[in-house]
Amino acid sequence: MQAGTNKKTKILLIYTGGTIGMIEGHESGSFLPFSIESVLEFVPKLKSLKADISVVSFKEPMDSAHIGLDEWLEIKTIIKDNYDSFNGFVILHGTDTMAYSASALGFLLQGLNKPVIFTGSQLPISKPRSDAHENLVTAIEIAIAQKNLLPRVPEVAIFFDNKLYRGVRSTKNNAENFNAFSSPNYSVLATAGVSIKYEDDLINNSRNSVFTALDKVEEAVVILKLFPGISDNYIESIVTSNGVKGVILEAFGTGTVNLTKKSIKALSTAVNDGVKIIAVSQCNVGSVELGKYEASNVLKQIGVLSGNDISSEAALTKMMVVLGNYTDKSQVDKLLISNWVGEQTIPQNEIIR
């Protein structure tokens, strides 16, 4: 908001469902979603914010376990269609798949110069001890925040339990406590206390970019997690499955693998047939370094790409978006290994210039 005026910042609140809007069913005892109007009734603090809040809701609010590719595109379309009419967007979403959705939107919404903030809660807003109130109010405060008359956080982010995380760097790591999310390989963008402290040097700045929304998501992408004793037949069935176009290979540590010659051949054949394979680490903290150990050098030799310190959620959604919107092989390869929207740290010797 500009200093010296009473003009309110226009925020679009997008309600998808999730725990924040759940109410306990009288007969089943299970939590069920209820209307956005009912949700907002529990947060009278919203009226004191310097925000003009409009609301749009999914026709049927959903548990986030059921949110997938179609819903990502629905959220993308809502933002695209309303982009010029609002200063920022806040998305109410269940926690279980929020990191996937935030990552997907981070790649689908290119050249953002407005905030898109995901939030939710671990307890329904109707519960006395719910974390929903502060999460929602602060998410909106972040969405309206400005510096030098420009949005403070022009990127897709998750606000939860007093922390603001980059969407494509986030993962859910706690189902029991209010600090449900973390960003293992990237520092938080802001911390909310008595005031909100922003880490401006860490926030993406695309102010000179032209906003565009990509239109497709490729569903033929799978995650293959390695484990001791994994069979050749299992690996072969995954990577050579009819129609698979991309594989996120969750390797050990810095990218080491326990592959037999038969499994290596299956991976090599898949790569030669055009299947894109990205190696990521099963560890939350750290980075894949193909070739650092002999047990990872084989991946480099057969053309598996390094995801560096990207999360599995970001790697999966990035590949879905890239393969869904680009067909040129060299462009696809370049996008998959590049730091597209701040999702990974590229070692200096691997930066494409």
State the catalytic residue, choosing from 5, 9, 16, 19: 19
- Sort residue 276 into left (φ over 0), alpha (ψ -120 to 50) or beta: beta
In sequence order, the β-bridge partners of residue 190 are 164, 198
Angle at alpha carbon of residue 116, lines to 331 and 124, rounded to 5°: 125
Q: Are β-strands 190-192 and 196-198 bridged in parallel, bridged antiparallel, or unpaired?
A: antiparallel
Crossing angle between the packed helical segments 261-272 and 232-239, to the nearest 10 degrees: 0
Kindly give, in sequence order, each residue whose CB lies less than 8 Å from that of residue 59, ignoring residues fewer than 6 positions away. Answer: none
Residue 19 annotated to the active site: yes
Whole-number Å distance between alpha carbons of 183 and 100: 13
Whole-number Å distance between alpha carbons of 312 and 318: 10
Residues noted as catalytic:
19
